[in-house]
Amino acid sequence: EAGVTQFPSHSVIEKGQTVTLRCDPISGHDNLYWYRRVMGKEIKFLLHFVKESKQDESGMPNNRFLAERTGGTYSTLKVQPAELEDSGVYFCASSQFMSFTNTEAFFGQGTRLTVV
């Protein structure tokens, strides 16, 4: 069974450009989460989808970040325009149920974004 897949693995863009990250969750997982780790600090929650609906987007830094989940399958996270402080590793995770204690959340390998 395929795990959570993220594209691209690495992305280097210039300040002011646009970047779109993609996450393919495990098939059948209704819950999809985006997290970010900046400069070796803690992994921070960005937002949570249940199917195609945004359940919680309280962690989104600002309106330069836009997340979508088309048809409740894959998700994209767009940063427009990118700023230097957006650099970091973006993780996607999916789980079958909403509660992390009822089912494990599986993480993708992450996308390392560098804004120069």
Partner 1 sequence: QQQVKQSPQSLIVQKGGISIINCAYENTAFDYFPWYQQFPGKGPALLIAIRPDVSEKKEGRFTISFNKSAKQFSLHIMDSQPGDSATYFCAARGESGSARQLTFGSGTQLTVLP
Residues forming contacts to partner 1 in the complex (CB under 8 A) are 4, 33, 35, 37, 40-45, 48, 55-56, 58-59, 91, 93, 98-101, 104-110
Provide the minimum distance between the beta carbon of 86 and partner 1 in the complex, in angstroms, as a whole number.
19
Q: Which residue has the tokens 């325009």?
A: 81
Provide the minimum distance between the beta carbon of 42 and partner 1 in the complex, in angstroms, as a whole number. Answer: 4
Q: How far is the CB of 21 from partner 1 (least distance, A)?
A: 14
Q: Work out the number of other CB atoms within 10 angstroms of the CB of residue 89.
A: 18
Dihedral class, residue 64 (left if φ above 0, else alpha if ψ from -120 to 50, else beta): alpha
Task: Kindly tell me which of 7 and 107 has the beta carbon lying closer to partner 1.
Answer: 107
User: Closest approach of Cβ 23 to partner 1, in Å?
Assistant: 11
Q: Under a CB-based contact definition with an 8 Å cutoff, are residues 46 and 59 in contact?
A: yes
Q: Which is nearer to partner 1, 80 or 109 (CB)?
A: 109
Alpha carbons 18 and 25: distance in angstroms, whole number: 23
**DSSP bridge pairs for 34:** 47, 92
Residue 32 or 82: the one with the smaller Cβ distance to partner 1 is 32
